[in-house]
Structure 1
Amino acid sequence: MQPFRIDVPEHVLADLRVRLSRTRFTPASDHTRWNAGADPTDLRALVEHWQDGFDWRQVEARLNKYSQYLTEVDGRRVHFVHVKSPRRGALPLVLTHGWPSCFVEMLAVADRLAADFDVVIPSLPGFGYSETPHGPFTGHRIAETWQHLMTTTLGYQRYGAFGGDIGGSVTQWLGALFPASVVGIHMTSGSLTAGIDSSAVTPDERIYLEAEQAYDAQDGGYSAIMRTRPDTIAAALTDSPAGLLAWIADKYRDWSDCEGDLKARWEADDLLTVATLYWATGSIGSSFRPYYDHPHTGPRPPITVPTAITLSHESLMAGFPRSLAERAFPNLRHFARPDRGGHFMAHEEPDYLAEELRTFFRPLT
């Protein structure tokens, strides 16, 4: 385990600025902004700010105020943030981000939890400064990596786990595989309907499951290419920073609780921080591996540990019935349906989410 500081070489930033200055923008395909994807006008403004107004060194200095480390698990490098509580014997929590996010999403929540908990924020394998795993990227494999990180590397005997999206799936695998170590799991999204017997659902549950399928069909263009031809799109996004930013910003707008107005929820520097980390590490292509490797995911064992769900306020979760959660998680102890905070809830609503986590995990210490 080695201390780590982010230090993007100056030549990487200089090359980024040159590439941004040479961006070729496409005309809009639809007169309704964002209807056909990233709006060219909004994208141009973000690209221009990335080139001339965004101060990466200032962001880098802020990120480096957090204690970051590199360690090796199963022969691969894992990057993580470790925020230690001043409270002796504090329960550790591992917080796992999703796609197209990164560890930065969890920092504001970690700040709010540090008085009561030790907080560990790993970068998913293939994201940022964590190396791509050997073999398929599955929730099962990443849960095994996190278990090693928490118990062997950091020496914790018991810990709690939280995540959304891919992080939610990893969190569920932690609860399923390591109930002797994991005191409880908390999710905002991520495979909440995995393993459900669709032949035995109630009418309300069937309505939701059909709506989920319809949403996936409408929203699934990005995932279809990432599942089937990830290297093709990765070649474009690894070479074009504007293309990379469009790919990421489209999802931050569509999945966050912003009612279609990207600027209403996100500062430009928040989006550019995420984009710069992907660009500087060249990791957008490897971040597609969970999609490409999804067919390798096997059946998940039953989850019996205490479970909490705070549903993200996004289209995919609209109408999700509590009965589905109770069917998937027999030890469901907390279920909340807030009216705010989307796919990136930890970043969007850190005060609310921190209180949700504190409420659920404090009795489990």
Structure 2
Amino acid sequence: MAHEVRAVVARAKGAPVSVETIVVPDPGPGEALVKVEACGVCHTDLHYREGGIGDDFPFLLGHEAAGRVEAVGEGVTGVVPGDFVILNWRAVCGTCRACAKGRPWYCFATHNATQRMTLLDGTPLTPALGIGAFAEKTLVAAGQCTKVDPAAPATAAGLLGCGVMAGFGAAVNTGAVGRGDSVAVIGCGGVGMAAVVGARLAGATKVIAVDVDPRKLERAARMGATHTVDGSTADVVAAVRELTGGFGADVVVEAVGRPETYEQAFYARDLAGTVVLVGVPTPEMKLELPLLDVFGRGGALKSSWYGDCLPSRDFPALIDLYLGGRFDLDAFVSETIDLGDVEKAFEKMHRGEVLRSVVVL
């Protein structure tokens, strides 16, 4: 039977979101019905509301979530009702050319639930990143459910579903930060902050946090940055080079997604260093760099999708680090809120007042 639940819906570009009753079908083959316990408010949800990720309104927002499997469809063997899971937006197919080459984190055929959730009048909803978790229950592909230790609270665990995993993975998986490396992170929102933490856990001895908001720099220092640079008053490239003996950082993580900050990242890295772009640009943005500089500086220019993570590998490992006291996911939670507070949370996020607001259901 179908389930009528409360959920946060964005009906039109730029319009305030609303809490509405939606219809969630029982799971079909390969699908899972998940009772959502907590879901972080991510910038991506705001991008959906603003029409920055397509115009297939109405959107069912929310994607950074954890909860309990309530039911599964035919053929599902990876999870069973009662499992505590983190939802992910890249359920790997296992058969595409990337998966066949043993690189499933690059899977080119990730998938979501086949059935559509709807408004009460039958209007199909587009779930954010194929999840739609600002809802009491949601329907996903079973492969989007990653079972983890239920000792972790959903408020912390759910953050691995997007922003924290993206930032941590950008440093550790994509950037391959190693012991003794110097790292600069440009942009210290939730993603950048996770890159700071990931770099320290990977053994970086110098982690330079760069932002234009002193509040974010203070947080970064508390969470492991060894140095901070205020980009509103300092020459970022010169400051990073000065802090690295005049050479530049081994790895620079760009967590803003703007041409000007990417250019800073490019020139703030050491010769043969690595730049990792994890900040999400908008479609109209263009980048111009002297091709001779791209050639002459060597190294690697990488983009990081979801921190190049493999949920089945990375989520349980990071939860183990959290439960062992080595990865403070709770520090990312600025406040817990209700479904009806999502619009206010967007405003706080836009003003830089919170690292993460987390909806608790």
The reply to whether TM is greater than 0.5 is: no
Q: Which structure features the higher share of strand residues?
A: 2
TM-score normalised by the chain length of structure 2: 0.29
Q: Which has the higher contact order (CA 8 A, sep 6+)?
A: 1
Q: Which structure features the higher share of helix residues?
A: 1
TM-score normalised by the chain length of structure 1: 0.29
